[in-house]
Amino acid sequence: MSIDYSEKIPNNVGLTENRRLQRALEKWQPAYINWWRELGPIESNELEVYLRTAISVDTKGWAHFDHVRMQDYRWGIFLAPVDDERYINFGRHKGEAAWQDVPGEYRAELRRLIVTQGDTEPASVEQQRHLGQTCPSLYDLRNLFQVNVEEGRHLWAMVYLLQAYFGRDGREEADAMLERHSGDPDKPRILQAFNEKTTDWLAFFMFTHFQDRDGKYQLASLSESGFDPLARSCKFMLTEEAHHMFVGESGISRVIQRTCELMNEHKTDDVQKFGGIDFQTIQKYLNFHYSICLDLFGQELSTNAANFYTMGLKGRFLETKIDDDHALANDAYKVPELRDGDVVEVDAPALNAINERLRQDYIVDSQRGIVRWNRVMTKAGIDFAFTLPHMGFNRRIGVFADAHFTPDGKAVDAATWEAGRHKWMPSDEDFAFVASLMHPVTEPGKMASWIAPPARGINNQPLEFDYVRFN
């Protein structure tokens, strides 16, 4: 289905046929533009950026690439095509036709899911707004802006659902999306991971690898929803989310590759004096970002998650490929439990362990990224391996919230934890060192000293391409 960009709000949802909704969204649009100009990427409005713009929701050939002035970017509302034969695949409504309207008895729960997901989208833009000033290359600057505009469009997707299906409550929630701000002491974002600072490009790559991977699993679960407009929104968002994770994983790979080159060239692992980022610092950043993402999945046992599943609002990752009855009334799932400082696995009702199952899926996927990063060092002949920290490390939610674990899984007391904190996660000195490397490189084809060039350019363009034009 093609998208008409001549409309004030590009969309494939027939917006012109619903004048009330069109007026509501057009009323919200100026507030969004103001938010973007005030809290989006700074000093970017006049830049011409080689961006992909969705012209269809078809997974084949759905995007058009061209230089677009940032302030002229057209955000829109895109849903995957309607499947008239779609049914609800889980919960008490399994086998029923998917809902095209909000079921009244689930109105509050569904609104909560949409608001929580929607709130993460502008939050990440706010967290990353200063990074353009220290880009390691034009290739990377373009990728940053591509991630930013797509996160903005994902906000539009959730705002559309709120305004189209939730009346005054939805309009108020849409306004509140622009009133909360990342790190604001009075009106912070809903999830704590989206109130943390993204201070530098190493943090940005970790964010897009780990936080956007959480987004993948949350969106995939929502794409199973019995509420069809939400499912269709998330399916298209997943298409764009894949690029965000690519930016993170490939970015870290390039940092590792450059560190390997410096180590082999200078015969030392002390690469800081040669403008590289040492493996220990990379591991600290990894430990931090991964651990805060584990908290994004919530409590190991959750009545809310069980209710969302039973109601048919939010499923599991790849729900239809799981071999069970998709009701879970009598099923069990193993969850971690602390006993005298030891972590043991115990059987729990699978329905209450929905969060934990999704977290375990995420852990397995995250480990695949670690394996790929470690291959870079193996190929370079360097004996070092990155590892994911223990699931109890640096946790604030769930069974590990009041415990203290080292990255290798040893239970320690609070004093030992505080003494070791900066051996395991970035210290002020680590942040200062990485910040000292963050000098902008804006000559086409050139790279900062701490990162290797990518294997290929964007959309078959050469690395020397002018991905960003400064006017």
Tokens standing for 384? 């070092």
pTM score, whole prediction:
0.96
Helix (H, G, I), strand (E, B) or coil at 40: coil
Burial, 123: exposed, middle or buried (Cβ in 10 Å; 0-12, 13-18, 19+)? buried
In tens, the pLDDT along 314-350 reads: 999 999 999 999 999 999 999 999 998 899 999 999 9
Cβ atoms within 10 Å, residue 455: 10
Average pLDDT, the chain: 96
Average pLDDT of the residues in 257-264: 98
pLDDT at 1 (0 to 100): 58
d(CA 285, CA 98): 42
CATH of 15-469, one of 3.40.50.300, 3.40.50.410, 1.10.620.20, 3.40.50.11540: 1.10.620.20
Q: Is the pLDDT of residue 404 over 80?
A: yes
In tens, the pLDDT along 275-320 reads: 999 999 999 999 999 999 999 999 999 999 999 999 999 999 999 9
Q: Is the pLDDT of residue 143 over 80?
A: yes
Q: Is the pLDDT of residue 9 over 70?
A: yes
Instruction: Say what the alpha-carbon torsion angle 325, 329, 331, 335 is, to the nearest 10 degrees.
Output: 130
d(CA 388, CA 394): 12
Give residue 338's region: left, alpha or beta (phi > 0; psi -120 to 50): beta
Residue 61: band (very low, low, confident or very high) from pLDDT cuts 50, 70, 90: low
Residue 373: band (very low, low, confident or very high) from pLDDT cuts 50, 70, 90: very high
**CA angle in degrees (0–180, nearest 5) for 290-40-183:** 50
Instruction: Say what the alpha-carbon torsion angle 201, 204, 210, 213 is, to the nearest 10 degrees.
Output: -130
User: What would the DSSP string read from start to end of 207-238?
Assistant: IIIIIHHHHHHHHHHHTT-SBHHHHHHHHHHH
In tens, the pLDDT along 212-244 reads: 999 999 999 999 999 999 999 999 999 899 999
User: What residues does 204 pair with on adjacent strands?
Assistant: none
Helix (H, G, I), strand (E, B) or coil at 172: helix
d(CA 469, CA 343): 54
Q: Where do runs of H (alpha helix) occur along 167-299? A: 167-177, 201-206, 212-222, 228-266, 279-295
Domain boundaries, the chain: 15-469
Check if the beta carbon of residue 280 is closer than 8 Å to that of residue 205.
no
